[in-house]
């Protein structure tokens, strides 16, 4: 009998980010520049009628910067699309020049990441450096058992909050106090009207497992570092999986197609 070959974990299945054809990109660039230029001229004309030359100049500079960003970042740059490695649905707004993570396929509900133009499924046990995996946040919900980062026994509940708008620090402290007082195993949003706060279960080794963001069908979403914990949270509370606004993709790219 021959010598058995050592087992090696197969590489993750991946797809490739594709960009518009090189013959098409110059035409897209021209259309983008003409569109931005027309908007810029319209804004300048309106402001010029108001007689404020400083605002006119500022608008011209800002519009020009936006045009250059659109031209070199999206049209001539490395932004493109790739099939989801799980279901094949198109994922738009991916930068093939840089590393990205936390990209959600809205068709199959899987998160993907990538680098150097390749895209692969995020490991189901992944723990991100910062809260990344999102879920819709209902008014009342149940925390899955364990620390939100590692699943170990909970020894502390730590507050997180988000401001609906710029408010005094007293409003923040009030919302945090309400959140800490409501720790009973179930999660309750403490809403002071201007600030929303939660008390999040952690073990003694972790203190940064979750954060809040604006958006989603319930007005707020909660982001977790742990992919596994995010999945449990969504299952137990029957809420939507959401992509973090921090990925930088446009709302159109994050929507289902």
Counting every residue written for the chain, the total comes to 257
Q: What stretch of H or E contains 231?
A: helix 227-237
Asked if residue 105 lies in contact with residue 93, where contact means CB atoms within 8 angstroms, the answer is no
| Mean local confidence (pLDDT), 201-219 | 91
Looking at residue 7, its pLDDT comes to 46
Which two three-digit tokens encode residue 25? 């990109």
Share of the chain above pLDDT 70, in %: 56
What digits encode the pLDDT tens for the residues 221-257? 999 999 999 999 999 999 999 999 888 775 555 544 3
DSSP secondary structure of 108-166: T--EEEEETTEEEEPPTT-B-SS--EEEE--SEEEPPSS-TTT-PPP-EEEEEEEESS-
Specify the pTM: 0.68
In the predicted structure, residue 111 carries a pLDDT above the cut 90: yes
Q: Does 154 or 66 have the greater pLDDT score? A: 154
What digits encode the pLDDT tens for the residues 61-92? 565 555 555 555 554 456 788 899 999 898 98
Q: Are strands 118-121 and 111-115 parallel, antiparallel or unpaired?
A: antiparallel
Closest to 226 (Cα-Cα) out of 202, 256, 246, 245: 202
| Domain residue extents for the chain | 10-122, 133-254
Strand partners, 77: none
Residue 202: band (very low, low, confident or very high) from pLDDT cuts 50, 70, 90:
very high
Q: Are strands 156-163 and 210-214 parallel, antiparallel or unpaired?
A: unpaired
Separation CA 33–CA 224 (nearest Å): 39
């Amino acid at each position: 009998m021959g010598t058995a070959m050592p087992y090696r974990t197969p590489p993750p299945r991946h797809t490739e980010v594709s960009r518009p054809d090189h013959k098409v990109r110059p035409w897209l660039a021209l259309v983008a520049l003409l569109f931005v230029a027309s908007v810029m001229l319209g804004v300048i004309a309106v402001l010029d009628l108001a007689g404020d030359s400083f605002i006119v100049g500022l608008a011209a500079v800002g519009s020009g910067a936006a045009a250059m960003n659109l031209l070199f970042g999206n049209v001539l740059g490395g932004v493109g699309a790739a099939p989801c490695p799980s279901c094949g649905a198109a994922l738009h707004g991916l930068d093939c020049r840089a590393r990205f993570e936390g990209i959600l396929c809205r068709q199959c509900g899987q998160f993907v990441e990538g680098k150097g133009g390749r895209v692969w499924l995020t490991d189901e046990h992944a723990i991100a450096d910062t809260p990344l995996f999102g879920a819709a946040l209902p008014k009342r919900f149940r925390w899955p058992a364990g620390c939100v980062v590692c699943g170990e026994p909970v020894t502390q509940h730590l507050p997180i909050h988000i401001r609906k708008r710029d408010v005094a620090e007293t409003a923040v402290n009030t919302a945090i106090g309400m959140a800490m007082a409501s720790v009973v195993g179930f999660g309750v949003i403490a809403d002071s009207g201007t600030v929303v706060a939660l008390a999040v279960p952690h073990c003694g080794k972790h203190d940064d497992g979750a954060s809040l963001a604006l958006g989603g069908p319930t007005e707020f979403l909660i982001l977790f570092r742990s992919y596994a914990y995010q999945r449990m949270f969504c299952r137990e509370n029957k809420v939507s999986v959401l992509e973090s606004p921090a990925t930088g993709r446009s709302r159109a790219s994050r929507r289902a197609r």
